[in-house]
Amino acid sequence: MAWKIDEIDRKLLEILRESANLPNAALGKKVGLSEPAARRRVSALVKRGVIRRFTIDVEEGGGVSALVFIATLPHTPAERIMRQLQREPGVGSIWELSGDIDIALTLSAPDIAALNKRIDEIRQMQGINATKLSVILKKWR
């Protein structure tokens, strides 16, 4: 969905991506707003659904992560599979896609053997036609 946001909103979003817990006074200072004005802007972005949640990015350390691409069988509701995937250990973000690949997700595990076991369990789910896996070597952002 396209959002109508101005340059100040863009700057606020960029800053919040890097540090979601930055106090409104510091946030406002970085974009030339007062604390109340920054707070109102962030609240409006949340209310409009531009900002869906504030979260943390945890470095698990020593683990392995991958992007998993899933093609479902014809006439299989992607939503049903996505709901199942949400309950699987190690599954992070999940996206429904258009094209040959129906679902993409992030998958984490303590090591390659555990990652392999988790992907094997996903491959056994009813309605999954094929999977492709790419191990994440380095995260840039």
Do residue 77 and residue 125 come from a single domain? Answer: yes
Domain membership of residue 116 as a residue range = 64-135
CATH of the domain at 31: 1.10.10.10
In a domain, 2, yes or no: no
Closest CA to 105 of 124, 89, 117, 129: 89
- Determine the pLDDT at residue 4: 81
Band of residue 62 on the pLDDT scale cut at 50, 70, 90: low
- Specify the number of domains making up the chain: 2
DSSP structural state of residue 68: E
CA triple 65-70-74, angle to 5 deg: 170
Decide if pLDDT at 53 tops 90: no
* Domain shared by 20 and 73, yes or no: no
In this structure, is residue 123 part of a structural domain? yes
Give me Rg for the CA atoms of the chain.
19
Residue 102, pLDDT > 70, answer: yes
CATH number of the domain residue 109 falls in: 3.30.70.920
- Residues of the chain with pLDDT > 90, as a percent, come to 66
Give the pTM. Answer: 0.61
